[in-house]
Every structure is written in C-alpha cells, then in structure tokens.
Amino acid sequence: MGGAELRTPAFVVDEGLLKRNLELLADVARRAGCKILLAQKAFSNYDLYPVLGQYLAGSTASGLYEARLGREEFGGEVHVFKPAYTEEEFEALLAVADHFVFNSPRQVEKYAARARAAGKQVGLRVNPEHSTQEGHAIYDPCAPGSRLGTTLANFDPAQLPLLDGLHMHTLCEQDSDDLESTVQALEEKFGPHLHGLKWLNLGGGHHITRPGYDMATLERCIRRAQHDWDVTVYLEPGEACALNAGYLLTRVLDVVQNGDTTIAILDASAACHMPDVIEMPYRPPLLDAGEAGEKACTVRLGGPTCLAGDIVGDYSFDAPLTEGDKLIFGDMAIYTTCKNNTFNGMPLPPIWLLGADGSCRELVHFGYQDFKMRLGAI
C-alpha cells in the first residue's frame, strides 16, 4: 500500500494485521478457557465483523446502537454496560442484548428482575478502588471519585440472588502485571461475593497483542479466577483486536513558519479524525519519521480546522516537507473511525480495506449530506 492511488485523507484497515491480532486472542481463549469479546467502542467497522466473528465469542456495547450493531452484524453474545439506562433504552435492549451489566445497586434494583425474567444474564460492575494508571485520569475508571463501578462500601450483598456475575474494567492499554494486582484487590474486596456466581468479566484495556505483552501472567490471572471462584471468565478488549491494524493517509497542504517552528498543515485533523491524540493525549506513529530532533528536519504537524490546538505532534524527517507530500500514520484502526466528528464541517475520510490477499477496496465514502443530516431536517 503506497497510498499514491488513494485520495487523502483516507483510513485503511489492514485485514492481514487484523487477523494476526485475532489469532493471538483466539490462542489465549483456547489455552486459558476464557471467552473474549470485541469492545465495539474501539473498533466498529462492521464490514470486518464476519472476520472477527471467526475468532471471538461476541461483542460488547456501551448503549443501544452498539448493541443493535453487534446483534445485527456480529452475532454471538451481546453484552451491554452503561452507567445508567433510560427506561426506553432498557426496553429496546431486551430485544438485542444477552448480558446486562449495571453500574449501581439502584440500577440493579430497577432493572435486574425484568432482565432475568426475559432470560438475560445480569451483572454488576464493581470498582476495586485500585488505580494502576498514571498521566491520563480521563481513562482511569478507578480514579478517586470515579462514577464507574460500585465500591465495596456501596455494595449490597442482599442483591446477589439477582446477579449472575460481576464485571470490572480498570485498565487502559496496560500489561498483565497491572491486571494481576487488580485481581488481588478484587479478591480482597469482593472475593467472598464471587462464590456461587456464574461469571467474572475482567473488562478491557488488556494490551494483549502488543509485542512483549506478558501472556503467562494474563493466563495465570484467568485460571486463578476460574479455580478460586468456579466462574467463566470474560475479557472484552477493543484496542487489542485492531492494534496497529490500520492507517490514516494524509497530505501536506501548506508549510508555514512561526519563529523557530516549522508547521505543516495537513488535510487530516487531529481534532476530527484522531481525537484521542488530543484527549489522551498520545503521539501516533508515522511512517519514515522520527522523534523531534532525531532527523534533519523537525516539523510540527497540524490539522486544517480553526482549533489552535489541532496538532498531531512534532516529528522529524530526512528532508523538509513540501506541499503535496503524503504521510501515513499508523495504529489508526482503533478509536478513530468510531470517534470521528465533523467539527468545522470537516469531511469524514473514506474507509478502505487492504485485504489479506493484497486487494484494496473502498468500504464507505462520506460526503456533504453526512455532515448536513446531523444538524437539521430541512
């Protein structure tokens, strides 16, 4: 994939790299005897769901629309968690979800009996109050004062007959040593309540497909839960499913100078097309580029919106960038196409598939109506 044949900006999902991730996840599920689900919040390109469905047990959703997508396009089990459900959403979810995970005892009291009467599995998300993250509290469910998950002080053992399992999600792009310490914290706080339940969901944030990830510790944590509590163990990674399995192709529109800083204006936007670059923040990999100062020419890469902070980051190159140069960002299959927005009327990039056989085809193209239809009816 050289990028010369595709108009920019454009997302490209690499089917071969996606399958490589999925094979690693399927191996974990087979060896450890657990079930692994796709977290659709990270990757929702449903044209690829038939591929993912060959390796994974189902999908997880953060609300009605993702749950519908999982039921209609993925198959397998459909799990849903939301901090609080509306009555209308809950009723609609009864038709598409298999597992309901509630965030608080109040939500359990309100909905659990109806969910179980409809033949659904019911769980409660717990907060083991064991934070293992540094530097990005926005993605830390165990940060002090977090709204996510029930702490031990608010846990009601009297509700255990209404529950089939417990759920926790505490990690974000982390190795299994953090999972191990979190499972220990879970045992200390909630261990006595897990006996007699059917399942334990260890959530997502497991960086399983990253080179160097400690698989042995992950599998030890899974087997520990299976042995100690006699439960089925679920994992619901999103990032690990499509890590490094996509690209964003972009082009230099202009190069400007401000003092000692050289800035290239791209036709792709950090704010619109890769918002986690700003939110998390993080610096995406860029083909044939180095860290600032590593190569001869350091350039700040920015987007075309009016937002002053629409900046991808500072990169270095062997030669100065000029108008028309094409750049390829890596690791662009996750938290991109499912988080895009049209701020400033920015067009959404088309999504292409680089097939495992080397073919390349456009999955979807967006235009003006995709921007306009969200803003009115006339």
Task: Specify whether 177 is located in the same domain as 162.
Answer: yes
Quote the domain boundaries for residue 209. Answer: 33-242
Residue 26 belongs to some domain of the structure = no
User: 13 lies in a domain?
Assistant: no
Q: Are residues 233 and 250 in the same domain?
A: no
> What is the C-alpha to C-alpha distance for residues 288 and 318, in angstroms, rounded to an integer?
9
> Mean pLDDT across the stretch 60-66?
98
More confident residue, 25 or 138: 25
Q: Are residues 202 and 249 in the same domain?
A: no
Residue 253 CB-density burial (10 A; 0-12 exposed, 13-18 middle, 19+ buried): middle
- pLDDT at position 4 is 46
The residue out of 216, 242, 268 marking a domain boundary is: 242
* pLDDT score at 138: 86
CATH number, position 76 = 3.20.20.10
- Whether residue 224 is found in the same domain as residue 304: no
Q: Is the pLDDT of residue 16 over 70?
A: yes
Last residue of a domain, one of 242, 273, 294: 242
In this structure, the answer to whether residues 97 and 193 fall within a common structural domain is: yes
- Say whether both 253 and 238 belong to one domain: no
The reported pLDDT for the residue numbered 5 is 74
Predicted pLDDT at 2? 46
Taking the C-alpha atoms of residue 139 and residue 109, their distance in angstroms, rounded to an integer, is: 28
Predicted confidence (pLDDT) per residue in 315-347, tens digit: 999 999 999 999 999 999 999 999 999 999 999
Residues 94 and 236 in one domain: yes
For the whole model, what pTM was predicted? Answer: 0.95
- Taking only Cα atoms into account, the Rg of the chain, rounded to an integer number of angstroms, comes to 22
Q: How many independent structural domains does the chain possess?
A: 2
Domain limit, last residue, from 212, 242, 272? 242
pLDDT of res. 295: 98
